[in-house]
Structure 1
Amino acid sequence: MALTTRRRALTTLGAALAGTVALPGTRALAGERKHGPRPLWQAHAHNDYEHRRPLFDALDHRFGSVEADIFLVGGQLLVAHEASELDPTRTLESLYLDPLAARVKANHGSVYRGYRKPIQLLIDIKTEGSSTYLELDRHLRRYKHLFTTYAHGRVVPGPVTAVISGDRAARTPMEAQSVRRAFYDGRLADLGSAAPASFISLISDNWTLNFTWLGDGPFPDAERQKLHGIVRAAHARGQQVRFWATPDVAGPARDALWTELLAAGVDYLNTDDLAGLEAFLDAHRPA
């Protein structure tokens, strides 16, 4: 009887080492091997390319969205905030597209290992929108299966969802496409328009142009109702919501405003402070 029990134990141990059976107390470890760190889907890295390690710093802090500003220069898409900062070595491919493709390949189809939800790549066009978008579209097409795609009325999810912001002239060529690998970043004026979420996937706007509250003192009730109404209206149409120009100096005011954004269901919190937003979202994780 003792020998039989011992043989069963050895069989179970061997199966566990082979990855087919979990021994008592090893379930969490197995889960860690299958999944990477839990992503913070609501974290948006504003002007991500200004960090020491573009893309990688945001991914190390588990962000669900990153932002890259692009300029069309001689057929190349260069990443910078101002034209005076352009560097021919800092292309959209080298900083974002190639690293994302390599990471997705290494993680068997996802940016975050074990999590199939796409991350967002917000591409802010700084040069003329129509011509820049058409060149961008040619670039995106080179990365097969990397991007969420709209094709003849159907949306096919991919590891990365590209959303086009910046110069509004990009909208015209985008709307004319029956197949595209990007979606449009609308404004509050687009909320409730005829454009569906399969085109305008995101509603973004300047916080200070729509709200007076910057986190100090109580949130005016009328403004809280306005915020919740915006989010409800967007979500009812399958669209996500982001505000830029929110306070981003560490302290009680920023925490108070971020808390209200979370409570309202805003999809992306905008920041330059990667570690600060990571710590805030970890502290406010739902029970």
Structure 2
Amino acid sequence: MGSVVFSIDAELGWGFHDYSNPPTDRIESARPGWKTLLEIFETYNVPATWAVVGHLLLEDCNGIHADHPAVDGWFARERGAWRDRRDLRFGPDLVEAIAEADAGHEIGCHSFSHVLFDDPRTTRDIARAELETAIEVARTFDIEYESFVFPRNAVGHRELLAETGFSCYRGAADPPESRLRRPLEKLLATIDPQRVELVEPTVDKHGLVDVPPSLFCFRFEGMPRAVVETLAEDPIVRQAKHAIDRASRTDGVFHAWLHPNNLQAERDARRMESIIAYAAEKQATSDLRIETMADVAERAQ
């Protein structure tokens, strides 16, 4: 009996605050995309792991974060260009909506301010501050974290996750060899349903459960997507359905992930609704489970 897991990198502006030229279209789509995605999950009563940047749980701050040992300039955009963009910096209302939803979502951690854990500048002190500050803020919402999603899937300092009480994390998104494929090979891998793998959670040397991803739901965009969609079903939907079918017949895990800011147009919402609705249908007609990352970790330990 297999399972399906959805994990969501919930960031608002924090996913791009360190960019010299942040992508405006995705940033402005983050809040409405969050609400749309939550509504879709609720419609089909499907739970997900929402990995939330800890700063979003704050009601307010001065942007200085004097107790945080961040590298120089890390919070500069919050204090400068986005000083008056509270909608990008704070989101307690959105987190409360997740907590109050009927589907039984898990609220996981996506660090406090989207620090990259594999960056050489990210010292143990910085990584620890990211974890401990996020945990402290979450407790004001009565949230106790179990799952962690590394910002930009940059895995590092896993020992600190274990020391601060996490039980699992989403592992690296792409194997190293995937970056060596030629363009045609990458295109074939993207549109071939057989290329999406079911994954097996494993316990690492720190006692943490690695719940690796199977599919990024928005890896096939732009002109290639537009061309293929005129000829056939959305290739990502086709891949997801194929993987869900396999999970319903085997013991594997299909782990799909995305950001709310990926929902920039109606067709993006349709993609996610098609996938989520199909998972719900298979759960109702087979032994398939739909789980959170924490659920998977509990079974794997």
What is the TM-score normalised by the length of structure 1? 0.41
Q: Which structure has the greater CA radius of gyration?
A: 1
Greater fraction helix = 2
The structure whose RCO (Cα within 8 Å, separation 6+) is larger is 2
Greater fraction strand = 1
